Amino acid sequence: MSKGETRIEEPSPAERAVIRRAAESRATVPVLELSLASPASGDALGTEVVVKACALALREHPRANASYRDGQFELHSRVNVGVLVATEHAYVIPTVLDADGKGLPELAAEIAEVREQAEAGRLASPALSGATFTVWNASADGLAAASIPVVPPQAGALTAGLRDLVLACDHRILYGHRATSFLKAVAHHLDGQRI
């Protein structure tokens, strides 16, 4: 056998969820990806800083804080940011509710708590729902740039790398000038948060 011995391994429930979400996203969402040089200038950002900058930009750009469902745009009044947390075998996306109204210390504490719960496998279902947008701080993992799939029916997902900010968005709802303006607003708020 040219591949040697083969061992079959069943995906964990968390891995099955990742597989399902990724396949659903790629199959149902026409994705547009845009990137912009990160104001981080090669430095790792705090996840709370990325979440806050994104939340402020979402408040200013309602179409980015929306969903596309049944041929209509659903614009959400609350800014609930899903934060990608990598665990040993998969990733989960707990939700920071009303992220636009929280300060950096409160966001940092909440993100640290959900990260700890995720790593221990203790996140309950309510913590994993209600997100209106998703963020991944890839700079904390040392990545210059990366992207993640859009979680349907959200309008987009933002990855903050050491070099680039990458916005993946549902092209049906967030496109062209709106997508570019939103991405620039995130960069502006990131720059402001770092001062």
Q: Is residue 161 part of a domain?
A: yes
Tell me the per-residue pLDDT of 22-61, one tens digit each, with 9 for 90 and over: 777 677 778 889 999 988 666 778 999 999 999 999 999 9
Nearest CA to 93 out of 164, 41, 151, 38 is that of 151
Range of the domain at 19: 13-193
76: domain CATH number is 3.30.559.10
Percent of the chain at pLDDT > 70 equals 93
Q: Is residue 8 part of a domain?
A: no
Q: Is residue 133 part of a domain?
A: yes
Q: Is residue 131 part of a domain?
A: yes
Tell me the per-residue pLDDT of 154-184, one tens digit each, with 9 for 90 and over: 999 999 999 999 999 999 999 889 999 999 9
Task: Kindly give, in sequence order, each residue whose CB lies less than 8 Å from that of residue 80, ignoring residues fewer than 6 positions away.
Answer: 95, 96, 97, 98, 99, 130, 131, 132, 133
Give the count of domains, the chain. 1
pTM attached to this predicted model:
0.85
Tell me the per-residue pLDDT of 69-105, one tens digit each, with 9 for 90 and over: 888 899 999 999 999 998 777 788 999 999 999 999 9
CA distance 91 to 93: 7
Q: Is residue 42 part of a domain?
A: yes
Q: Is residue 152 part of a domain?
A: yes
